Structure 1
Amino acid sequence: MGDPALSRRGFLAASTAAGLGMTALSGCGGDSDGGSSGTTTIEWWNISTTQPTKDVWAALAKQFEAQNPKVKVKIVQLENDAYKSKMTALTASGKLPDIFHTWGGGVLRQQVDAGLVEDLTDRTKEWADGLLPVAKEPYLIDDKVYGIPFDIGMVGFWYNKAHFKKAGISAPPTTWSGFLDAVRALKSENITPIALAGKEKWPGMYYWAYLAMRTAGADALEKANDAKDFTGDEFVQAGKHLEELVDLQPFQKGFLGAAYSTPTGQAATVGNGKAAMELMGQWAPVVQSDAGKGLGDDLGFFPFPAVEGGKGAITEVFGGGGGHALRRDAPQAAVDFLKFFASAATDRELVKKTGVLPVVPAAEDALTDANLQAVQKQLNGATGFQLYLDQAYAPAVGQEVNDSVAALVAGSKSPQQVAESITKTAKEEQ
């Protein structure tokens, strides 16, 4: 599978030890060679350690150097978990690379609050204003731009059209009650409705997060995090809606011990036709094919349904992507590289060769897969956006969301207890 999925969660085991072994490369900060040529070297830290992205990005760096003869790009690549560990250490030391991978959200805010990140609002305005608005959301802090996206995506339902047809489901459900009816219809045909990687916890969190958005509205999760209080009735209601689903026993046998991307995991269960649906990000088709057979033309996509009477809309999306930020006072060459990377020509290369979704509207013509076009349509029409909770929140809070929701799915915590546990952890993080 490609880097979009790896960057989301690191759910393919990243070799932390191997990655950390690379950190001898990590002198940070752009510099001049001190000679008459006046060459500027900029360090670009990223997590593109898998193919084809690794080679594509290296080629783009060479292309940028060819267009800018007085600039050299030094690439430092670390796998997902190793990168996070090293960046945590660098943040504590007060010195970040010239250009570095960011998911936005809480970690980027910590780096900004520490005075380590360049405010890009004015330095990129001329061209960044033209990027897909929802793609920029994770990197906006106090209405200022601190990162430039190269990838964006959202979580939604990936489903087996043949299974839906057999169960008499004429169209994907658009309401929660309609979704529960679809689950019942699939069960009546002895089709497992949903595959879930219960062992890894985060896939179950997607349900609670979306139900909270649909019940309380797109801004509710951010407001609750700011207030350190998730005990409001609408968050409890979100848990009750998830409990309704769990009570239908919709998941595959042994789901509590199932991983995401293993041959017997969530993605393979859908890819091999053994379950009708999974709630997952835009990388799902690739992983279904890698871990299983894949569904080909039988695979479809639909957004998370609306909750009747809720404040949220079906056009409000939950997701995230990848971007680049700059260290404070980074050289102009680093800004120029961001502009190059965010150009329509570069974005087309990324879409065609690495499977990311376009962040430059002019590059959308490079997107040919019908399902990914459907995802892009949802993103283009998004009226609200919530970043993945384990990136939007402090790490301990994000982990508690995952743990508490997993306990609800397993039947060992009530919706009220989920809300109280998350609130308790949030207050402890103050």
Structure 2
Amino acid sequence: MASTLPSRRSFLALTGLTALSVSLTAACGADGSDTRAADGKVSFAWWNIATTEPGKSLFPQISSAFTSAHPNIVINTTSLENEAFKSKLTATTSSGKLPDVFQTWGGGVLRQQVDAGLVEDLTDLLDWSSELTPVSLQAYQFDGRTYGVPYDIGMVGFWYNKKLFAKAGITTPPSTWAELLDDVRKLKAAGITPIALAGKEKWPGHYYWAYLAMRVAGLPALQQAATTKDFTGEGFVQAGVHLKELVDLQPFQPAFLGAGYATPGGQAATMGNGKAAMELMGQWGPSVQKDAGADLGADLGFFPFPTVDGGAGRATEVFGGGGGFALRKGAPKEALDFLKFFVLENESKLLASNGYLPVVKGAESQLTDANKKVVAQSLVQATGFQLFLDQAYPPAVGQEVNDSVADLIAGKKTPEQVTASITEAAKSA
């Protein structure tokens, strides 16, 4: 399917905006209202996805600390659940308006917003970017320019319940796909639900296909497919075949197709409450488990996504991403001041909350959680990095990846149909 986001030129033509009106908008808020009031106060909109802990409490604390130190600044915060945020931001982007400061994962989604002329180029404004790790900035950089500020970076892997593994007689986490499938069988034989999955939200399911594509076809093949817009290669088909091997074992919790991620009874709660042995999730997994269910504490472990026998990919090639913020074109300079305060002056608080991984150079020494240290070390040792596919690619392509993989998991599409649908979306984007 084709992307619905207009180009900068077509956007101006469609809306009838003149160059003068665009330049005037640069001094206005996301809704076109003046951000600099008569009394000298400056206000800006901040959209984020901090609806679960620790961000739910921490983000407002950081915002309040900033406005207390700068009484002339007012921050109008909107916090939305992940999927609701994406939907609202897509609609806002299509209308040519963005919030002053907005959550972004970078990649193809941000690139389209940049190409439409809606995002501030921060390259010459970030005189403190040298304090950030290169890998954390990577997703927000295009053609040597920087368009976002990261506050978290990490990777997707399996979080597992050590107690349930032991109950099933599993002494060592699997390192190959064949071993993972065997462990799923052992868990089922012991009466344990092997994996929790938020089937309703689709994006958690795409992690499996993306990682398998990396492990079978190799990271270079995945990157090449993004350029050639052809995902029908045998390696990508085999990724679906291997995912179907897992699905055929019926490893997920009852009613998983209707389950959300952070919702009551959803994936994170199922994992946190000890009702499933594993979940494939990013670095934020433990904090959401605790917020939606319970804290597994010392029973929680982490292992990287397994390799596939005969595959071209390596265990040191990681898949993931983090969170960041971008500024709309013409956002007040105070908005960038806020991001500097958020990231540099509050890195210790972010890490202490146990919900985020460091983006500031040297801050990894502050990590105390054993599992977070494993994730951070895996990133340090990574020989390749792939951003979430639903963010790395243009929105229409990323959505098709999510939709098609969800259909495969639900038994509605074959591995070949998945690759054909993604290819069609890529060629139409």
Tell me the TM-score normalized by structure 1: 0.81
Partner in structure 1 of residue 12 of structure 2: none
| Equivalent runs, 1:20-99 vs 2, <5 Å | 26-27=30-31, 41=42, 43-47=44-48, 50=51, 51-62=56-67, 65=70, 72-80=73-81, 84=86, 87-88=89-90, 91-92=93-94, 94=96, 96-99=98-101
For residue 308 of structure 1, what is the amino acid of its counterpart?
D
Tell me if the contact between 2:49 and 2:85 (Cα under 8 Å) persists in the aligned partners: no
Matched, 1:117 2:119: yes
- The aligned residue for residue 393 of structure 1 is 393
Give the structure 1 partner of residue 165 of structure 2.
164
Distance 1:96 1:201 in 2: 25
Decide whether aligned partners of structure 1 residues 417 and 291 sit closer, same or farther in structure 2, where only a CA change above 3 A counts.
same
**Identity of counterpart residues, as a percentage?**
60
- Aligned residue number for residue 373 of structure 2: 373
Partner-residue secondary structure (3-state), 2:422: helix
Q: Does the C-alpha gap of structure 1 residues 139 and 63 become closer, same or farther in structure 2, counting only changes over 3 Å?
A: farther
Tell me the residue number matched to 1:408.
Answer: 408
| Alpha-carbon distance between aligned partners in 1 of 2:75 and 2:391, rounded to the nearest angstrom | 27
**Helix, strand or coil for the counterpart of 2:219?**
coil
SS of aligned partner of 2:158: strand
Change (3 A) 1:334 1:202: closer
2:233 alignment partner in structure 1: 232
Residue type at the aligned position of 2:355: G
Q: Contact 1:214 / 1:306 at 8 angstroms: preserved in 2?
A: yes
**TM-score if structure 2 supplies the norm length?**
0.82
Consecutive unaligned residues of structure 2, counting only runs of 5 or more, are: 1-27
Q: Decide whether the 8 Å contact of 1:212 with 1:238 is kept in 2.
A: yes
Structure 1: distance between partners of 2:32 and 2:362: 34
* Aligned residue identity for 2:58: T
Deviation at 1:52, TM superposition (A): 0.4
1:346 shift after superposition: 1.7
Q: 2:356 matched to which residue of 1?
A: 356
Give me the whole-angstrom Cα distance separating, in 2, the residues matched to 1:132 and 1:260: 29
1:123 to 1:160, Cα distance in 2 relative to 1, 3 A: same
TM superposition shift of 1:212: 0.7
Q: Which amino acid aligns with 1:309?
A: G
CA contact (8 A) 2:287 2:354 kept: no
Secondary structure of the equivalent of 2:224?
helix
- Residues 298-309 of structure 1 mapped to structure 2, 5 A cutoff: 298-309=299-310
Return the letter of the residue paired with 1:110.
Q
**Does the 8 Å contact 2:148/2:327 carry over to 1?**
yes
Structure 1 counterpart SS, 2:247: helix
**Amino acid corresponding to residue 371 of structure 1 in structure 2:** N
User: Aligned-residue CA RMSD in angstroms?
Assistant: 3.0
- Contact persistence 1:64–1:340 (CA under 8 A): no
Q: Are 1:47 and 1:78, in contact at CA under 8 Å, matched by a contact in 2?
A: yes
Q: 1:256 to 1:117 in 2, by over 3 A?
A: closer
The structural deviation recorded for 1:95 is 5.3
Deviation at 1:188, TM superposition (A): 3.3
Change (3 A) 1:63 1:385: farther
Give the distance between the partners of 1:261 and 1:32, measured in 2 at CA. Answer: 37
**Cα distance, 1:257 vs. partner?**
3.5
By how many angstroms is 1:138 displaced? 1.5
Distance 1:107 1:337, change over 3 A: same
Partner SS, residue 52 of structure 1: helix
Question: Which residue matches 1:3?
Answer: none
Aligned-pair CA distance for 1:275: 2.0
What residue identity is the alignment partner of 2:421?
Answer: S
- Residues 267-307 of structure 1 show CA distances to partners (whole Å, capped at 9, x for unaligned) of 23322323211111222223323333342211111111122
Can you list the C-alpha shifts for 1:231-287, whole angstroms capped at 9, x where unaligned?
A: 011101111111222233322333334333344332233223232111112222233
SS of residue in 2 equivalent to 1:285: helix
Which of these residues, 81, 105, 108, is aligned with residue 103 of structure 1? 105
Classify 1:412/1:86 alpha carbon distance in 2 versus 1 (closer, same or farther; 3 Å).
Answer: closer
Q: Distance in 1 between matches of 2:63 and 2:91?
A: 26
Residues 97 and 415 of structure 1: CA distance in aligned 2, closer, same or farther (over 3 Å) = closer
Q: For residues 176-200 of structure 1, what are the alpha-carbon distances to aligned partners after superposition, in whole Å with 9 as ceiling and x for unaligned?
A: 1222222233233333222222233
* Equivalent-residue separation in structure 2 for 1:85 and 1:407 (angstroms): 20
Bigger CA drift: 229-238 or 280-289? 280-289
Q: Provide the rounded CA distance (Å) in 1 between the counterparts of 2:239 and 2:392.
A: 19
SS of corresponding position for 2:362: helix
**1:25 to partner: Cα distance:** 7.7
